[in-house]
Amino acid sequence: MSRTTARAWAQICKLSLATAFVFSAMPVQAQDVLITPELPFLEFDTGSEFVFIERNQDPEARIPDFFSQTSRQCPPFCVQPMSAGEGVETVGELEVLAFLEEHVAKGTGVLIDARLREWYDRGTIPGAMSLSFTTFENPDSNPFLVPVLQLLGGEQANGAWTFDDPLELTMFCNGPWCGQSHRAIENLLSVGYPPEKIRYYRGGMQGWLSVGLTVVTPAGS
């Protein structure tokens, strides 16, 4: 699959792939809470609107109650390992921002929200697309997975997958206690997706919210 086809698919499905990604010289309003000393905020063009990614400037802001809970029943809410698989890089917030700039903005990568769609609709990371972990379940018998893998750069012959030039992926879900993105990555690896092309944002929405980064509600939600 060509990069052009991948970008067209993303735009048609309104998957928020950025078409441009720039740093602004100065923020719209004076900011005291920066992302890093060198990076006050990021601004990128989704193709239909400009979106800021910045930290919440309210010094009294708190993480939402749902993400402050410490003792969810396990299973299913079990603490996840730091690694999602051999060769898969585990990343944090700054690496996710760099991924948006280096890959999502250029159409060479996809930031995947692996949660169920209902969670994505409540709020997600700017630039992320919804591709639930259920899409990747039972890869040997799941007919819905075939077009997805093709659009990510895979080719199938005689029941086997090859990935000569796949898209770069970063996958996340709700946090260190959420196994959805971990499961999706395991299934991708099982069909031969190159681990060096996958990144695991273990902190997920809990980590993103805990440092006050921008969350968006998808259009139409």
CA angle 192, 196, 202 (to 5 degrees): 100
User: Per-domain residue ranges for the chain?
Assistant: 3-59+76-210
Q: Is the pLDDT of residue 27 over 50?
A: no
pLDDT score for 89: 98
Q: Nearest 5°: phi and psi at 139? A: -60, -25
Q: Name the band, by pLDDT with cuts 50, 70 and 90, for residue 221.
A: low
- pLDDT of res. 50: 66
Class of the CATH-defined domain 3-59+76-210: alpha beta
The tens digit of pLDDT for each residue in 185-218 reads 999 999 999 999 999 999 999 999 999 999 999 8
pLDDT at 25 over 50: no
Distance CA(103)–CA(127), nearest Å, equals 11
* Cα distance between residue 9 and residue 4, in whole Å: 9
pTM attached to this predicted model: 0.86
143-192 pLDDT, tens per residue?
999 999 999 999 999 889 999 999 999 999 999 999 999 999 999 999 99
Judge contact between 172 and 93, C-beta under 8 A: no
Contact present, 152 and 167 (Cβ < 8 Å) = yes
